[in-house]
Amino acid sequence: MSVRDAVLFANEAFYRAFADRDLKAMDAVWSTRFDVACLHPGWQPLFGRAVVMESWSNILGNPQSPKIRPREPHVQLLGDTAIVVCYEEIDGSFLLASNVYVHEGQIWKMVLHQGGATAGAPAPEEAPERPRRVN
């Protein structure tokens, strides 16, 4: 797996834990070795693992938490750190996020998430090709 693919895998794991309301998986996403910060859209900033995980416990414990998925991830590789900027699709609307990961052991762990409003949107997804009818 390339470094870029490994970073994208970590980013997918973050959004899968979010969409699945899986607090244990969310806990595994975040770094245990470095200071972490989380800037939920519109909130005050949260610093430190305990405070950040408490916020996720509240968000993921809410059955109304959004079904979110990442769109058009853009990766910046910076040695042992990597940034993924992506759209977040929520019920057909879009936010924009920066996610920063550090190489920790064999995998990439999150140290920063910031989500916020955007006037942009990803390109429409291509519809799956229809099977062509022969004759």
Applying CB under 8 A, the residues found at the interface with a second copy are: 34-37, 39, 41-45, 47, 74, 76-81, 83, 85, 96, 98, 100, 102, 111-112, 114-121
* Shortest distance in whole angstroms from residue 56 CB to a second copy: 17
Instruction: Quote the CA–CA distance of 82 and 101 in Å, as a whole number.
Output: 5
Closest CB to a second copy among residues 26, 115: 115
Closest CB to a second copy among residues 120, 124: 120
Measured at the CA of 52, the angle between CA 58 and CA 63, to 5 degrees, comes to 20
Cβ neighbours of 29 (radius 10 Å): 23
Residue with tokens 């909130």: 43
Closest CB to a second copy among residues 79, 128: 79
